């Protein structure tokens, strides 16, 4: 792989010649771009010797290669790794600043971005750094470390750049993974639908869409093309998906149906409202016109997942594979949760359902974690979690991706 190694001015920069050597030994081509501060901490000659390439750090110097240096390097790279990534470089990347050669090339680089942060614990813990890291991770950046240990300032804590050996291992492990969904299209729904009562009021629910976004990211990670049909989200749409916005249940059904034929797999994580007003009042309904009590009449929304199941059964098609989510209140009783999951699975005619008991701590809406049962129509049951929503999403997709329905079916053209 062609790796652009960005070195910024953390003390761990002195370890980067070893990192370059290890990356090359693992079979990668490496070109290095540095900040000026990095060159206070590591010798340019050492980096040029181990990489066999000129080290680039000036935006406006005579060009080493033909063309526009930062654009050429950005296009050349199949992966950008910043090690060490200082708080300063992380902040610049989060803001999209390009005020030196390294940040200019990174801003122009479409390749996946990996960061191996290295800094003092207090800088790592600072809310600004936390927010900048979270923003980059949401855009698809991956983190290696930082590790806990002795820091250059003499203290001990989290902030140490991972050792070069571990950085190379993490990259190798990621790229050696079986991209089981390569060539497949996964349609994921996420977020809370809104059913408008009038021009300023709506019915909705507390879903943030975090689980759906985690499923979308996990599908990308397994090599899939991802269509994310999303209603209202409390988190950002991840980079790399085809995003389609649908506010209400009816709009979401329309969006899902118009993309269904492209999908090998549909994962319905959206918290779709079950009831809606039969019509939306055109303006704002005034209190004086309503009086003390507003008696609302609500009608059922279309059940999107059940509709997909019905259509598939009627047509005899085997695709798309359908996976639903079920938020249940089972009072912590696993058997009851399984019974409810199985009932919903057969009612909606889907292939699998991930059921969680929202009365169990760590499961369900809005939080960072989840746990539950992945129940297949063929009888298999896999408990998933507890873990972060990313971990649970990734375990869920790995199970689903190895189902006969996915493995046996040839990819769609």
Task: Give me the active site residues, please.
Answer: 153
Binding residue (CB under 6 A) for ligand CTP from 161, 249, 255, 266:
249
Q: Does position 268 bind ligand CTP by CB under 6 A?
A: yes
How far is it, in rounded angstroms, from Cα 215 to Cα 181? 13
Q: Which of 33/353 has CB closer to ligand CTP?
A: 353
| Separation CA 322–CA 320 (nearest Å) | 6
- Other CB atoms within 10 Å distance of the CB of residue 343: 13
Size of the site for ligand CTP (CB under 6 A): 14
Residue 214 within binding range of ligand CTP, rule CB under 6 A: no
> Least distance in Å: CB of 127 to ligand CTP?
34
Q: Which helix (H) or strand (E) covers residue 102, if one does?
A: helix 101-107
Which of 4, 42, 94, 304 contacts ligand CTP by CB under 6 A?
304
Which residues within the stretch 284-303 sit at the binding site for ligand CTP (CB under 6 A)? 301, 303
Q: Is 374 in the site for ligand CTP (CB under 6 A)?
A: no
Contact at 8 Å (CB) between 168 and 23? yes
- Interface pattern 70-99 for ligand CTP (x via CB under 6 A): ------------------------------
Nearest to 114 by CA among 267, 5, 218: 5
Q: Quote the CA–CA distance of 326 and 356 in Å, as a whole number.
A: 6
Residue 255 binding ligand CTP, by CB under 6 A: no
Beta-carbon neighbour count of residue 272 at 10 Å? 24
The CA distance from 195 to 138, in Å, is 28
H-helix or E-strand spanning residue 190: strand 185-190
Tell me how far, at minimum, the Cβ of 328 lies from ligand CTP, in Å.
7
Number of Cβ atoms within 10 Å of the Cβ of 336: 14
**Would you say 85 or 267 has its CB closer to ligand CTP?**
267
**Taking CB under 6 A as the rule, does residue 57 contact ligand CTP?**
no
Q: Of all helices (H) and strands (E), which one includes residue 49?
A: helix 44-51
Measured from the CB of residue 377, what is the shortest distance to ligand CTP in angstroms? 14
Name the residue nearer to ligand CTP (CB basis): 71 or 299.
299
- Beta carbon of residue 77, minimum distance to ligand CTP (angstroms, whole number): 39
Give all strands of the β-sheet with 381-388 in edge-to-edge order: 242-245, 225-230, 185-190, 265-268, 321-328, 352-357, 369-376, 381-388
CA–CA separation, 309 vs 326, rounded Å?
Answer: 15
337 scored as a contact of ligand CTP (CB under 6 A): no
Q: Is 305 in the site for ligand CTP (CB under 6 A)?
A: yes
Query: Which residue's CB is nearer to ligand CTP, number 37 or number 334?
Result: 334
Taking the least distance from each CB to ligand CTP, the nearer of 79 and 353 is 353
Return residues touching ligand CTP (CB under 6 A).
Answer: 249, 268, 270, 272, 274, 301, 303-305, 324-327, 344
């Amino acid at each position: 792989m062609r790796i652009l190694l960005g070195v910024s001015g953390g003390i761990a920069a002195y370890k980067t010649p070893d990192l370059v050597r290890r990356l090359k030994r693992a079979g990668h081509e490496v070109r290095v771009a540095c900040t000026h501060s990095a060159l206070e901490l590591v010798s340019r000659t050492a980096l040029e010797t181990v990489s066999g390439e000129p080290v680039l750090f000036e935006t406006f110097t005579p060009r080493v290669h033909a063309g526009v240096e930062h654009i050429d390097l950005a296009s050349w790279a199949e992966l950008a790794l910043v090690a060490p990534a200082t708080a300063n470089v992380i902040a610049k990347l989060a803001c999209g600043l390009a005020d030196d050669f390294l940040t200019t090339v990174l801003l122009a680089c479409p390749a996946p971005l990996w960061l191996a942060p290295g800094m003092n614990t207090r800088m790592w813990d600072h809310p600004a750094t936390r927010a900048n890291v979270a923003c980059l991770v949401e855009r698809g950046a991956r983190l290696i470390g930082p590790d806990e240990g002795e820091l250059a300032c003499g203290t001990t804590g989290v902030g140490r750049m991972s050792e070069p050996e571990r950085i190379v291992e993490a990259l190798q492990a990621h790229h050696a993974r079986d991209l089981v969904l390569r060539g497949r299209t996964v349609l994921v729904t996420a977020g809370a639908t809104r059913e408008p009562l009038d021009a300023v009021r709506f019915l909705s629910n507390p879903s943030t869409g975090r689980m759906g976004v985690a499923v979308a990211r996990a599908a990308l990670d397994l090599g899939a093309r991802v269509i994310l049909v999303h209603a209202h989200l409390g988190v950002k749409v991840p980079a790399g998906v085809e995003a389609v916005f649908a506010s209400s249940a009816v709009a979401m059904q329309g969006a899902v149906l118009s993309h269904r034929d492209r999908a090998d797999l549909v994962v319905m994580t959206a918290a779709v409202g079950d009831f809606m007003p039969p019509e939306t009042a055109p303006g704002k309904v005034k209190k004086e016109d309503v009086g003390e009590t507003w008696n609302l009449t609500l009608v059922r929304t279309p059940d999107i997942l059940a509709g997909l199941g019905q259509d598939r059964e009627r047509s005899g098609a085997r695709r798309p594979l359908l996976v639903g989510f079920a938020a249940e209140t089972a009072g912590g009783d696993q058997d009851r949760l399984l019974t409810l999951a199985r009932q919903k699975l057969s009612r909606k005619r889907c292939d699998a359902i991930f059921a969680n008991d929202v009365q169990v701590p760590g499961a369900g809406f809005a939080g960072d974690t989840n746990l539950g049962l992945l129940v297949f129509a063929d009888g298999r049951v896999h408990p998933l979690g507890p873990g972060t929503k990313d971990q649970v999403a990734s375990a869920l997709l790995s199970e689903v991706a190895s189902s006969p329905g996915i493995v046996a079916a040839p990819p769609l053209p």
